[in-house]
């Protein structure tokens, strides 16, 4: 059975029969850009070309910014990393939902969630959020924001 993966840095999609790098227990890295780890997807996922990627730890703090992050928010890595994703991006989900907390607590995906992004010093923007849990012992999640056209 093939497992589907996506790189949060470059958005490259890949499939493999093993979740680890060779015989070691280390996570797979991206063959295209060399990023240190990939996110496993339960189904294949195709992000929009202008989607922004944010990787968070188990407390919801940003630990890596990927493709499209600067273009969407205007914030560079140094101003984002280590801060809670909801605060730094000013995420406001419809109906008071908090899919970030749900994904981190329950380890489930949350797809196509309408959100307003109000990054520091930037104008509010409408987007669609897709959130994926990290399927490893460290926890965390991948947040993919696709700006509305």
* CATH number where 32 lies: 3.30.450.20
For 4-51, how does the pLDDT look when each residue is reduced to its tens digit (9 = 90+)?
889 999 888 888 876 665 555 667 788 899 888 888 887 778 888 999
For 55-97, how does the pLDDT look when each residue is reduced to its tens digit (9 = 90+)?
999 999 999 998 889 888 888 889 899 999 999 999 999 988 9
Count of structural domains within the chain: 1
Q: What is the residue-wise DSSP string for 126-138?
A: EEEEEEEE--STT
Domain that holds residue 62: 3-147
pLDDT at 133: 93
Asked if residues 16 and 3 have their Cβ atoms less than 8 Å apart, the reply is yes
Q: Distance between CA 53 and CA 75 in Å, rounded?
A: 13
Task: Tell me the pTM.
Answer: 0.83
Which segments within 46-109 are labelled E, that is strand? 52-56, 62-65, 92-93
């Amino acid at each position: 059975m093939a497992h589907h993966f996506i790189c949060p840095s470059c958005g490259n999609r890949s499939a493999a029969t093993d979740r680890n790098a060779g015989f070691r227990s280390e996570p797979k890295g991206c063959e295209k850009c060399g990023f240190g780890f990939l996110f496993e997807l339960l189904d294949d996922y195709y992000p929009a070309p202008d989607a922004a990627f944010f990787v968070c730890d188990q407390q919801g703090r940003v630990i890596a910014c990927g493709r499209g992050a600067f273009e969407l928010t205007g914030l560079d890595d140094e101003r984002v990393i280590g801060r809670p994703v909801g605060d730094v991006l000013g995420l406001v989900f419809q109906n008071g939902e908090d899919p970030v907390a749900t994904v981190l607590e329950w380890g489930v995906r949350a797809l196509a969630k309408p959100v307003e992004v109000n990054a520091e010093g930037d104008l509010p923007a409408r987007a669609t959020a897709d959130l994926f849990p990290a399927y490893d012992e460290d926890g965390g999640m991948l947040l993919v924001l696709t700006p509305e056209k």
